[in-house]
Chain A
């Protein structure tokens, strides 16, 4: 089974035997993949059909709404809390981010970069809300209600005192081009951050 681009990046950051919480875990493919390396933990998922896929795959999954926070989990109870491609779809990304860093020793957050040049082009020059491979929905029916750029996200982390341990920015083919290295906020389509509490 091949993992989605961002999930592969995340998987590489998680050591064997870690205890993780995967928020909005989808069909559980990341957790299933990590099981091979003795990584334990849970997925949270609200979508019925994705939830069923988790059960069918033997992945621990809790039906829960991320907008209600993570109050069922104790402080620092996971090595990693993962939120991939979901930050932009929650009601209060700031609240969830703080919850992630409360229950997790480290957080892994992946999201589509709204600062990508195609988004800027569509909005800035064509005057239309961007629609792309990573953001395929029209403005009126998109689940992505809180889009941000790399700069926006880093500013939010900074505001809460979360430091970026690692950052991976790629295009949708999982390629790290020269353009992305020079101007990630302009050429990167998917960003994945590894963050933790305090300065390091």
Chain B
């Protein structure tokens, strides 16, 4: 970070904490006796509290969606491309709230926080939470802020699933749902990738059945491998080809097993930096939340029935080169909303970046995103 903050940045932000003493009943049947949520907010809540936008994060995301936590921070929050003054989610108009999900590792109650009942870290004993549990906890956060209805709930990937679940389960509390690069449930292939990631973590000798912190160690190898695999599924063949091709680090083939191709070096860098900032138990939990997400299940696998209750208007966006959650997966959501006669728009964005495209400032994507949010702002102000 340089000395001055960019003009279109939300600037320096300090996270807030919410402590809830009321027990939260989870989908898995267990109870969280109390919990904390860490969250950031940007912009100003208006007098009638109608301009609030909830940002839901994806698998490895957190509450730090925009701006900088300190002047020393090198990179801004994970969705800084979309949140800020004059950006798609314009903080001149909206009050933006982004919490770290339960089970996360960035300050909300999760595996790396203390279990009040034992006085020790939860670790692997932290209950598996679901998308629906997140929605419930986020609703408690909304209550604490006095927000009855979100002007919009917005998310990409696993965040998009939360936006969809919000609209389905708490229909009167969502004005608009923006579901980006998501799917109505994981495919067998998606689950398979998650299982490989979990196996990588669990088979690391340093994993110690999830109690690695008690042994003062981290399953680096396993978590790093999981991230490498994940990262491959976030990019497209085309994007990788453009960025790295078959470029060699030293310029010639070495006939050995050390890092030779640039892509190898990149993946190793991604994995080692991820290990520094992320918790293995949280990674396991987040992949499970993904696997379990299936709002149509309670409706005899009929997504149209599942979305019947929705009152929100929706914008669904997909990206052409996304093979993790391809445009066809978004179209399943669109088709259900159309069949149910709901208000919906759908855009398929030409992009080479794969699943990660949802985080990129792709001009057409940002234009549509911004135009849509301007309509939301108009509704709020009318």
Contacts and interface: CB of A to CB of B under 8 A. Distances in A.
Q: Interface on chain A toward B: helix, strand, loop, or mixed SS? A: mixed
Interface in A72-99: 72-74, 77
A61 B345 contact: yes
B71 interface: no
A52 B367 contact: yes
Contact of B346 (A48, A63, A73, A77): A63
Contacts of A74: 339
Nearest to B369: A55
B371 A55 contact: yes
B375 interface: yes
Interface string B358-380: 00000010011001101100100
A56 B331 CA distance: 21
A60 interface: yes
A54 interface: yes
A94 B260 CA distance: 57
Contacts of A120: none
Given A42-B344, A62-B345, A62-B346, A56 B374 contact: yes
Contact of A48 (B331, B338, B364): B364
A61 B339 CA distance: 15
Given A48-B364, A55-B368, A72 B338 contact: yes
A105 interface: no
B374 to A, nearest CB: 7
Contacts of B341: 19, 40, 77
Contact of B334 (A19, A51, A54, A62): A62
B331 A72 contact: yes
A58 interface: yes
Contacts of A40: 341, 343
Q: Interface on chain B toward A: helix, strand, loop, or mixed SS? A: helix
A63 B347 CA distance: 5
Given A48-B364, A72-B335, A60 B345 contact: yes
Interface residues of B, number: 22
B348 interface: yes
B334 A72 contact: yes
B97 to A, nearest CB: 24
Interface residues of A, number: 20
Residue from the set A56, A59, A62 with the largest chain B CB neighbour count within 10 Å? A62
Nearest to B375: A58
Nearest to B367: A52
Contacts of B313: 60
Contacts of A52: 364, 367-368, 371
Interface in A11-68: 19, 40, 42, 48, 51-52, 54-56, 58-64
Nearest to A43: B345
B91 to A, nearest CB: 20
B253 to A, nearest CB: 43
B344 to A, nearest CB: 6
Contacts of B334: 62, 72
Contacts of A55: 315, 345, 347, 368, 371-372, 375
A55 B334 CA distance: 16
Residue from the set B315, B364, B368, B372 with the largest chain A CB neighbour count within 10 Å? B368
Interface string B16-58: 0000000000000000000000000000000000000000000
A172 B142 CA distance: 56
A85 to B, nearest CB: 22
Contact of B338 (A58, A59, A62): A62
A60 to B, nearest CB: 5
Contacts of B344: 42, 60, 62
Nearest to B334: A62
Nearest to B313: A60
Contacts of B368: 51-52, 55
A43 to B, nearest CB: 9
Contacts of B343: 40, 60
Given A56-B371, A62-B345, A72-B335, 4 more contacts: A48-B364, A56-B374, A61-B346, A63-B348
Interface of B: 313, 315, 331, 334-335, 338-339, 341, 343-348, 364, 367-368, 371-372, 374-375, 378
Interface of A: 19, 40, 42, 48, 51-52, 54-56, 58-64, 72-74, 77
15 contacts: A40-B341, A52-B364, A52-B371, A54-B345, A55-B372, A58-B378, A60-B345, A61-B345, A62-B338, A62-B345, A63-B346, A63-B348, A72-B338, A73-B338, A73-B339
